Amino acid sequence: MFVPKRIFFEKKALEYAIGQKIYDKFKDKNVDIIIDNRVHFQANDNPALKYKEGKQTLVVGVKRVSKFETCKPSADYQLPLISGCTGQCEYCYLNTKLGDKPYTKVFVNVDDILDNAKKYIAKSDNITIFEGSATSDPIPVEPYTNILERTINFFAKEKNGLFRFVTKYTDVDTLLTLDHNNHTTIRFSINTDKIISAYEHSTPSKSRRIEASQKIMNAGYPSGFIIAPVFLYDDWKTDYSELIDELSAKVPKNYKHDISFEVISHRYTITAKNKILNVFPNTTLPMNEDERKFKYGQFGYGKYVYTKEQLSEMKEFFTQKISSLFSKENIKYII
């Protein structure tokens, strides 16, 4: 559970039950509570200190509900319940997307957001899938917001609506007894011990994540793993092979759903690289443009990816390894 050092409450947020609940939870704790519509930092001129300060900050606000962003290939739409993450992963794309806002923000008007989702579901004759972690990891604040609980209960009753989110965190106990109706998929972001220890600061260990995934599977949720970002370092095949072996061995024997796999190779933009270096000046992330291929992405900007030969080797490895222990159909995509 994330315990912030300070909390900014937008004034209107305290008019909502979730906002008041968070206020009551922390008002008597050693937490600075600030009621202000503007989030401000003491370390504005120092990117590294501002980042650290932001990661200790929770913002409680009201979301202006409008058009939902698309979310391919994960889902049809983003469901904007929370933004930001308490983790300090060096490679995270949120360092770019939310670079000036390194805090976690929860939106208290969940009913408005879910009402809007209901309208999207009604527009289509097909199943509509919503992603709850496109710009966040929602689990660390769940014990005192119960936003995911409300969302899971909502989608359990929606015939043509499905919900999914991914997490690196382990505070899942409040979700285990919900009647989810198989309409929520909970995936876990996982990596090798080498990558987690080097780059995924302030996150649970691999073994704790796998433990939490077992709890979710035992509660009957559809589940899966995102292996990302994949780094092609010396002995990467050995380490990732051992990781997939461990995931296979820990799946409960009576689990009735197929385990989904999403595999994403490491990539970065120059903008991301510059922001990462500002926050983590001593990073050892492999960001040498001479060793990568430049590629335009679907949103019109360029990024540096592994070479065609490296990506082909990576895809072949993960396809064969996952298929040997699960099946090829379990693989959603390898990119």
**DSSP secondary structure of 84-129:** B-S-EETT-THHHHTTT--SEEEES-HHHHHHHHHHHHHH-SS-EE
Token pair belonging to 224 = 């899966």
Strand partners of residue 82: 106
Sign of the dihedral defined by the CA atoms of residues 264, 257, 134, 160, in that order: positive
User: Is there a contact between 269 and 99 (Cβ–Cβ < 8 Å)?
Assistant: no
Q: pLDDT value at position 324?
A: 97
Tell whether 292 is covered by a domain: yes
Output the pTM of the full model. 0.95
What 3-state DSSP class applies to 234?
coil
Residues recorded for the chain: 335
Token pair belonging to 6 = 């300070």
Distance from C-alpha of 29 to C-alpha of 202, rounded to nearest angstrom: 22
**DSSP tag of 161:** E
User: Is there a contact between 244 and 322 (Cβ–Cβ < 8 Å)?
Assistant: yes
Distance from C-alpha of 160 to C-alpha of 179, rounded to nearest angstrom: 17
Tell whether 116 is covered by a domain: yes
Residue with tokens 């001593």: 282
Specify the number of domains making up the chain: 1
Domain range holding 211?
6-334
Q: pLDDT value at position 44?
A: 72
DSSP H helices, the chain, are 17-26, 47-54, 94-97, 110-123, 142-145, 147-156, 193-199, 206-218, 236-250, 270-279, 308-325
Q: What CATH number should be reported for the domain holding residue 54?
A: 3.80.30.30
Tell whether 134 is covered by a domain: yes
User: Is there a contact between 151 and 111 (Cβ–Cβ < 8 Å)?
Assistant: no
pLDDT digit string, tens, across residues 69-79: 999 888 999 99
Contacts of 235-238 with C-beta under 8 Å, sequence gap 24+, read: 236/192, 237/317
Tell whether 283 is covered by a domain: yes
Tell whether 92 is covered by a domain: yes
pLDDT digit string, tens, across residues 265-291: 999 999 999 999 999 999 999 999 999
Tens of each residue's pLDDT in the chain, 335 residues: 999 999 999 999 999 999 999 999 999 999 999 999 999 888 777 889 999 999 999 999 999 998 999 998 889 999 999 999 999 999 998 877 777 899 999 999 999 999 999 999 999 999 999 999 999 999 999 999 999 999 999 999 999 999 999 999 999 999 999 999 999 999 999 999 999 999 999 999 999 999 999 999 999 999 999 999 999 999 999 999 999 999 999 999 999 999 999 999 999 999 999 999 999 999 999 999 999 999 986 666 799 999 999 999 999 999 999 999 999 999 999 99
Amino acid at 239: D
Tell whether 1 is covered by a domain: no
Q: pLDDT value at position 298?
A: 62
